[in-house]
Structure 1
Amino acid sequence: MSFRTALLASACTAIAAPAYADVTIYTTRQAELIQPVMDAFTAETGIAVNLNFMEEGMVERLKAEGARSPADLIMTVDIANLKQIVDEGLTQPVESDVLTAAIPETLRSPENLWFALTTRARVIYASKDRVADGEVTTYEDLASDKWDGRICSRSGVHNYNLALLSAVIDHVGEDGARAWAAAVRENLARKPEGNDRAQVRAIWAGECDIAVGNTYYMGQMLADEEQTEWANAVRIEFPTFENGGTHVNVSGVAMTTSAPNKDEAIQLMEFLVSPTAQSIYAESNYEYPVLEGAALSDIVASWGTFTPDTASLSDLAAHRPMALRIMEEVNFDG
């Protein structure tokens, strides 16, 4: 083969198999939780995904990098953190008929600046032996004297508990939320410590009778041989607000203002709400899909159904500073 023929063949090969740019994501979600869905995207499109996990400091990093940031997308596990990044002007709107058709209006920004990918309920883990069916009814009931010395909790200033308190604020106002947080603190069996799974272990060990936790942790414990015994010691109860439903939070995605690979990033965003991706989320993470009709995992379906609260996620995010102040004022972790 002549040099000219080889050169033409090489050019034709390059045209036939274009090299796609990678998509880079800054995420507060542990990489192993979302890697399966990213692998599925790469298998379908040939576009690689670079996951950069950062537990904190995402806003500061994006600001420092500015227009030079390699991040195309950001993903968070809490609406308040997602909304903070949006409010700092670090994201851009994404116009996509696929996203708006797949995601309910209440689970995305009116300006298309953020989109929920999955939801999870903040529920009660109740001892099967020491708590009767139906004994847990509302979030407000957690302040009742009947739970004195019977509640375990992770830190009050953790994002998940701040989101719940933000929902309390939305329903009963600042003064009511402060009284509620103080009463729940008085009902604690021990100083807040550990994560949601640690609270289930404490119930199993007899240290307390109920705890607040996210639904998906139950699935993770049942899948972990060392933690299955803890999980089997409790059942999930779906409390509601007295004038509302069960509190839910979201994992979500937004596109950065810099987004060097915008087209590929939109492809990924649209894939994340496809039936394929939503099913992977449901099966591997035990979360609730945002796509209507997407199947739940058998484990999640076994917990039963609930009615999500209708409080605006944007409003809950706006209440977060007040929720943090209340938790500090009542010395919840003290």
Structure 2
Amino acid sequence: MFATVKTALLTGAAVLAAVPAFAEEVNVYSNRQPELLQPLLDAFTEETGIDVNMAYLSQGLVERLQAEGDRTPADLVFTVDISRLDAVVDAGLTQPLMSDYLKEHVPALYHDPEGQWWGLTTRARVVYASKDRVADSDITTYEDLADPKWKGRICTRSGTHEYMLALSAAMIAHHGEEYTKTWLQGLKGNLARKPEGNDRAQVKAIWAGQCDISLGNTYYMGQMLEDPEQIEWANSVRMLFPVFEGGGTHINISGVAMTKSAPNHDNAVKLIEFLASPKGQEIYAEANSEYPISPESKPSELVASWGTFTPDSLDLRELANLRDDALRITQEVDFDG
């Protein structure tokens, strides 16, 4: 059974049974950490009286929806990374949703033209740099990361992780496959160690003196500053916002899509519109240390303190379409080897 956000949250390993039909509820499948969503869902329930039932599925979200078919109790899918959103759409598991309210509050760059998915927050993939060993002006572009001057000074997570693949896909979009292959070879040649761990583990490695720079999403800074063990790591680095040559800073999104069946369709629409509202945007962005999608909403004081940047204007769907090419090239150069 689903659990309301007022009680407990399901795990992906739990068996999800059909949900009894209540008048005022909406059911969510999410691979985002529950604690990142709960403040937002609580605020929605308080404002509307509609209960939100959430199942956390760390893996197998698409497979779960495929197995349940038209019987799925899920109305909405929450996920991160455009390729994961696109995978749900490509599997034929969503339905289009268009409303004047959503189009007004979500810029065209951050939603599917047919309304199959809607972005909620953005994050930039930036360079975490040692405050002691790297100057602000040392890195201005992602292309710089392949410069031999960084040999033995870079740490990163696996090149096959979705976040790294999205960056490589963007490099393909800007420069083509051959350039990207050479760039990945150069980046690999500059690594201080074999790719391992998550984005925060790379910052820890900088703090420990194992490398001087790493790649990471902006919101990890907020997470580290909230963890007593990791505050020292966070304070040892600064964030630099590189750009692509001829482009802007690489971004990705968290987003939502409505399932094809959506048994609580109208309530699901209300939740999505709340997510896009100034109030919903500010709650969601602050809880996640991310940037709000809506131009009407401001980032939290913490996020604003990191500085401003110009987002890359690439069509996010292009990143999703190039994901397989990015994976192939990453494996060809044996990036993780």
What is the TM-score when the length of structure 2 is the normalising length?
A: 0.92
Trace 1:95-244 onto structure 2 (pairs within 5 A): 95-244=98-247
Q: Which residue type is aligned with residue 269 of structure 1?
A: I
1:298 maps to 2:306? no
- 1:269 — aligned with what? 272
- Contact kept, 8 Å, 1:20 with 1:46, in 2: the verdict is no
Q: Deviation of residue 175 (structure 1)?
A: 1.1
Q: Distance in 1 between matches of 2:279 and 2:167?
A: 30
Name the CA distance, whole Å, in 2 between partners of 1:86 and 1:217: 28
Identity, % of aligned pairs? 61
What is the rounded CA distance, in whole Å, between the counterparts of 1:322 and 1:283 in structure 2? 34
Residue 280 of structure 1 pairs with residue 283 of structure 2: yes
Task: Say how many residue pairs are matched.
Answer: 316
Checking the alignment, whether the CA contact within 8 Å between 1:28 and 1:54 is kept in structure 2 is yes
The partner residue of 1:69 within 62, 66, 72 is 72
- Correspondent of 1:330 among 310, 322, 333: 333
Read off the aligned partner of 2:185 and give its amino acid letter.
Answer: A
* Partner SS state of residue 138, structure 2: coil
- Cα distance, 1:215 vs. partner? 0.4
Partner residue in 2 for 1:26: 29
Deviations 1:29-55 (CA, angstroms, capped at 9, x unpaired): 111111110010011111111221222
Q: Does 1:84 pair with 2:87?
A: yes
What do residues 85-135 of structure 1 show as CA deviations (whole Å, max 9, x unaligned)?
111211001121111110001111110111000000000000000111210
CA apart distance, 1:298: 1.1
One-letter amino acid of the counterpart of residue 329, structure 1: E
Distance in 2 of aligned mates of 1:21 and 1:211 = 46
RMSD of aligned residue pairs (Cα, Å): 1.0
Task: Point out 4+ residue stretches in structure 1 off by more than 6 angstroms.
Answer: none
- Contact residue 218 and residue 290 of structure 2 kept, 8 A: yes
Q: If each structure's helix is expressed as a fraction of its own residues, which one has the higher value? A: 1
